[in-house]
Chain A
Amino acid sequence: GDSVTQMEGPVTLSEEAFLTINCTYTATGYPSLFWYVQYPGEGLQLLLKATKADDKGSNKGFEATYRKETTSFHLEKGSVQVSDSAVYFCALISGTYKYIFGTGTRLKVLA
């Protein structure tokens, strides 16, 4: 069945460091791919998405490119801030209404 695999956390970085959170997927067909973020005490919010191969989703300085050849959707940010501290979830939806989520990666950014 469809699945999403994210890198284990927590990830701890200093402010202004470069961030990469790896995400790979297994799916039949052509899924849409998403990154959701969950700030402390809040619900999940859509961060960015990409709906077809080679699309790049971007928002708030975060980027992810849909790589069909490597079945990946890695999240990157060039310079993280303390306010980026949160849990990040990679997800896919493939031909149905069911989202498949990864287990989440906790990011902690130190001032």
Chain B
Amino acid sequence: GAGVSQSPSNKVTEKGKDVELRCDPISGHTALYWYRQSLGQGLEFLIYFQGNSAPDKSGLPSDRFSAERTGGSVSTLTIQRTQQEDSAVYLCASSQRQGNNKETQYFGPGTRLLVL
């Protein structure tokens, strides 16, 4: 079956513009995660969606960042008024929630964002 897909694969934008990043999780996976991978850094947790529960937004770095997940499937991460420090690879992952901390996350290829 298909894995996690993300689009676009690359995005170049000007400072101050808004961008939308899309994630299609694996069909049937109830949990969806967004991470940010900056140069030379590990993965930074951004937001987590699980089914119809309220998302955990505790990792979002500022109020310029928001995300939604429609119909429990596709998710969009929006960055408003982009800044140069937002340049990074944005990774999406999904998992079949087991609730016992043994689950495996499956990652998409990421969107490489460059803010000029």
Contact = CB atoms under 8 A, between A and B. Distances in A.
Contact of A32 (B45, B50, B102, B110): B102
Interface residues of A, number: 26
Contact of B43 (A32, A42, A93, A101): A101
Contacts, number: 57
Interface string A70-111: 000000000000000000010101111111011110000000
Contacts of A41: 109
A45 interface: yes
A62 to B, nearest CB: 16
Contacts of B106: 46
Contact of B110 (A43, A94, A97, A99): A43
Range of interface residues on B (Cβ < 8 Å): 20 to 34
Contacts of B108: 43
Interface in B33-56: 33, 35, 40-43, 45, 48, 50, 56
Contacts of A89: 42-43
Contacts of A36: 107
Interface string B92-106: 010001000111111
B26 interface: no
Interface of B: 3-4, 31, 33, 35, 40-43, 45, 48, 50, 56, 91, 93, 97, 101-110
Interface of A: 4, 31-32, 34, 36, 41-46, 49, 51, 89, 91, 93-99, 101-104
